[in-house]
Amino acid sequence: MTGMCIATLIVFIFIGFLAISNLSKIKKNVTLEAGSEINIKDFLKKENADAKFVTDVSQINTGNIGSHEIVIKVGKKEYTSKLTIEDTKAPTAKANDVTVNKDGQIEANQFVTDIKDATKVDVSFKDKPDVSKDGESEVTIVLTDEGKNQKEVKAKLTVVSDSQPPVIDGVKDITAYIGETVSYKKDVTVTDNMDQNPTLDIDNSKVNLNKAGTYEVVYTATDSAGNTSSASSKITIKEKPKGYVDKEVGAFVKKGELIAEIDPRDYEIQLSATEAEYNQVKEEAGRVIELYNRGSVPVNDYDKAVAGIKQITAKYNAHKNALADTRLTAPFDGYIQKKYYDSHETVAAGYPVVSMINSNYFDVDIDIPSSDFVRQDLFKSFSCAIDVFPGQVFPLELIEITRKANLNQLYRMRLRLKPVPGVDIAAGMSVNVTIEYNPNEEALTVVPLSAMFEENGESAVWVYNPKTQTVTKRVIQLKKLLKTGELIVSEGLAAGEIVVSAGVHSLKEGMSVELLKPVSKTNVGGLL
């Protein structure tokens, strides 16, 4: 009985000793200023490289005042410390002078900028400013953070009587066809000398989009001081002209089909007037020329008549062309890919109206290396396979091969794929192109320049025999040396033969050689 009591007492004392020893390695309480970085050194009584956070301190926002329980592991032991985040530093800010309309609305935060503090800052007036009288006054702004720290900032308030109305820009007359949607606010802006957000009211109550006619639209802008300005525009609703089209994106059109049209009536009137003038000048000039031929009028009158005919003819032809240009027709069968403008929008000269995809053919672009570029005369046929149509092969037609290589030393080849009945091919599909060489032409083989050597005035290479593991000299005929350091061989080598590309001057006929091992991450050609 006595022995058991002694044993219990010894264990109790041992545990207590450990607890005291363990707690001595870290601080029980750590206080940090708001916004500070949490560093494990702040928790240790002595620097210890084995110490690390168990608690994910990255989830603690030091911008919030409060306490957190932090678990730290030193070696194999874990300890707990209390982290307290407090805010003892007052916020800072820059003063911002404000001008406001008499009896206008102001907020305290309008008078300060660039507020800096680790915690959230409340902005308020020390004394509510008086905006009922014109003049200047000093305003005191109080900044209070979550730690109850305060900072006062003084700024200037100017109260003025605003009598200047807002300015409305971008109001213009609108033309639309019956049944079309109209945007009255498009490109319309309102600015004011004092108010950053004046209101804009649009009265289109008199407009009937389903009936031809001319209607008035009234725009009214109002600022915070009650000043108003107005502007008006006319909206003309017309019946759709004969042959009017409005092709949607994705629509199929045939060659020559109308896809867009400018209202031709103004151009028709212009041409009609010019035609009448043309006929009159032509008639008068003809009479003068006839009299000149009889010798009845001087040469000066003749020159004026001829010049007049040239001028009016040029004007007449220009107006005929302008009328013809009001109609945009499809240059080929295809699909409308994109519309760049809506109906009744102004299109500047030279800008696209629509883009189309040709349905009669598709262009296929590939890049080929220089070794294929130099053998383009041997190209026999071209075909492609499309991923979305497995098992099918489609013929291609060569259009062109660029004569200049790109930055990757590749030459762009353009091929043409004609539509295939029953196969819905679309632009943007990826294809695999196959090029077949003409078998009736000389066979060409490409080898590295380092594989060739000269002997007795002949070009030769060493050919490796895998069965005997020996080399044999083979005389070759060269066709061309490429800039890439490769040789094009026309005679002497067959496809699939192995040639020696290094150390060729050290070999002799029938010498045994050993192929280098395949390259791996840890072995470069068996040399490592």
Mean pLDDT lowest among 229-238, 306-315, 375-384, 463-472 = 375-384
Q: Which of 414, 437, 460 marks a domain boundary?
A: 437
Q: Note whether 106 and 77 are same-domain residues.
A: no
Expressed as residue numbers, the domain containing 40 is 23-86
Burial of 185 (0-12, 13-18, 19+ CB in 10 A): exposed
Q: How far is CA 88 from the centre of its chain?
A: 47
Position 274 in a domain: yes
Mean pLDDT calculated for residue range 400-404 = 89
Q: Would 18 be classed as within a structural domain?
A: no
The 10s digit of each residue's pLDDT in 66-93 is 999 999 999 889 999 999 999 999 999 9
**Residue 485 structure tokens:** 């350091």
Residues 113 and 93: beta-carbon distance below 8 Å: yes
Nearest to 256 by CA among 172, 161, 115, 356: 356
Average pLDDT, rounded, for the chain: 83
In this structure, what token pair is assigned to residue 440?
């009736």
Q: At which of 102, 132, 160 does a domain end?
A: 160
Decide which of 437, 467, 490 is a domain's last residue: 437
Q: How confident is the model at residue 518 (pLDDT cuts 50, 70, 90)?
A: low
- Band the pLDDT of 54: cuts 50, 70, 90: very high
Split into its structural domains, the chain has a count of 6
| Contacting residues for 446 by C-beta, under 8 A, at least 6 apart | 371, 482, 486, 487, 488, 489
Which tens digits make up the pLDDT trace of 189-216? 999 988 888 999 999 999 999 999 999 9
- Higher-pLDDT residue of 8 and 280 is 280
Regarding beta strands 150-160 and 98-101, do their DSSP bridges make them parallel or antiparallel, or are they unpaired? parallel
Mean pLDDT of the 210-226 span: 92
Residue 76: which CATH number?
2.60.40
Contact 45, 21 (CB under 8 A): no
- Do 365 and 432 belong to one domain? yes
- Looking up residue 502, the CATH number of its domain turns out to be 2.40.420.20
- Please indicate whether residue 350 or residue 10 has the higher confidence score (pLDDT): 350
| Residues 80 and 123 occupy one common structural domain | no
Q: Are strands 189-191 and 167-169 parallel, antiparallel or unpaired?
A: antiparallel
DSSP result, 361-413: -EEEEEEE-HHHHTTGGGEEEEEEEETTSTT--EEEEEEEE-SS--TTS-EEE
> How many whole angstroms separate alpha carbon 203 and alpha carbon 220?
8
Q: What is the pLDDT of residue 460?
A: 92
Question: Hey, what are 131's tokens?
Answer: 């905006």
* 265-293 vs 299-324: helix crossing angle, rounded to 10: 160
**pTM, rounded to two decimals:** 0.37
- Beta bridge partners, 44, equal 26
Given a contact cutoff of 8 angstroms between Cβ atoms, the answer to whether 360 and 334 are in contact is yes
The CATH number linked to 100 is 2.60.40.10
